[in-house]
Amino acid sequence: MALAIGGASVVATVLPAGAQNYDLDRRDDSFRERLEVIEEKPAPVIGPDQTGLAGNKSGFETGVTVKVDGTYHLFISEMFGRPHLDMRIAHWSSPDSIRWTRQSTVVESKPGRSPNNSMSEVWMQAMVFDEQADRWTLFYIAYRGGNSARGEALNMDYEGVARRAVSQVPGRKGIGGPFKDVGIAMAPGGKDAALWEGQQGLDSFFPYRVGNKWVALHGSHNHFPVSPWQVGVATAPRLTSSTWKRVPSEQPSPIESLFIENPIVNRLPNGHYIAVYDNNHFAPNQPDIPVKANNSVGYSISRDGIRWHQGRSLIVQTSEASNWSSDVRTALGLVPEPDGTFTLLYTGRMKDRPFWGIGRVRVKLTMAPAGARD
């Protein structure tokens, strides 16, 4: 995830207008599905004192959790040096989502942050099993550094590109890789680029299957003039596609009007889709929009996988005893459990140390009565 800090690829993007109002279709947020925390840990399950951090100095950010044959696998961005600037992607595993062991570094950024280095930063996005190819596919965002000669900020990310890497071991057992980069999945710009997409390029990209096609939530942001962090919807016939067609009515999606990054999508037993994501904990350029609780993540529902409702907040640190983070950041996906609940990992900045740890909660899904509101 990036908060005006990151890096990306090489394609010119359309700069959005300074106006903050994109005439969003304000769909009702009173969808019936509700997430409720039923168990939480009072401290990070991976923190600064974890053994095997491999020199990780600042902690973790974007990532995704999947479960294969009873083992949890976490693919996560590690901030091995400066927060949100020195990045690599690692694979961790756990038998219970509490005790974690680092397995390997999966993707490295390239040393020498510069405008000409399109791998100045790498940010984990998605891990998807491609049934057709019988392989796991990893998606990540790569950025270049800013160019001061063009008036760009040196500590911000530019022209983010979604890249795709494929496990060289077939089947679900191949989740540990090794992974081979096979090129760009989606790049910023193009003839159907939307007005809201900005200098950051892609800041997130998550593909999921809907019927016989693939759909992706793709995010972006403009640094100057500052604009909201938002997501749009695009489709492609195959997960291996390098061209994704934006859905005009969902540019951007109305999930959040100010800030949404790194949504991760699951299909629910009722056929609807749920996305969990990093939501707005601040309102620097739209003071009329309420700030979300800084111990929450966001979630939204879509009935068809295309049109998403306005999001809601889920507080993941519900008591003083478990409130170890000064700023909860990125949701790392819902992992379905045999009893119908979900395991949810998330990143957060620790109150007492300059380190972004990983928290864990279990949540259950309930259905509110038709027309109910909180």
Q: What is the pLDDT of residue 372?
A: 66
Whole-angstrom distance, CA of residue 263 vs CA of residue 79:
20
Q: What is the pLDDT of residue 284?
A: 58
Mean pLDDT, contiguous 10-residue spans, the chain (374 residues): 32 35 64 96 97 98 98 98 96 98 98 95 98 97 95 93 98 98 96 93 98 97 91 97 95 92 97 95 65 91 95 95 95 98 98 97 92 65
The DSSP call for residue 261 is E
Whole-angstrom distance, CA of residue 78 vs CA of residue 53:
9
Whole-angstrom distance, CA of residue 149 vs CA of residue 74:
39
Q: What is the pLDDT of residue 2?
A: 38
Q: What is the pLDDT of residue 26?
A: 67
Q: What is the pLDDT of residue 29?
A: 75
All structural domains of the chain, each given as residue ranges with its CATH number in brackets, are 33-367 (2.115.10.20)
Whole-angstrom distance, CA of residue 284 vs CA of residue 223:
13
Whole-angstrom distance, CA of residue 32 vs CA of residue 370:
7
CA-based R_g, the chain, Å: 19
Cα–Cα separations (whole angstroms), residue 64 to 27, 80, 118, 155, 307: 27, 18, 23, 25, 23
Q: Which residues are CB-contacts of 272 (< 8 A; sequence separation ≥ 6)?
A: 33, 301, 302, 303
Whole-angstrom distance, CA of residue 92 vs CA of residue 328:
20
pTM: 0.92
DSSP string spanning 124-167? EEEEEEETTTTEEEEEEEEEEPP-GGGT--TTS-EEEEEEEEEE
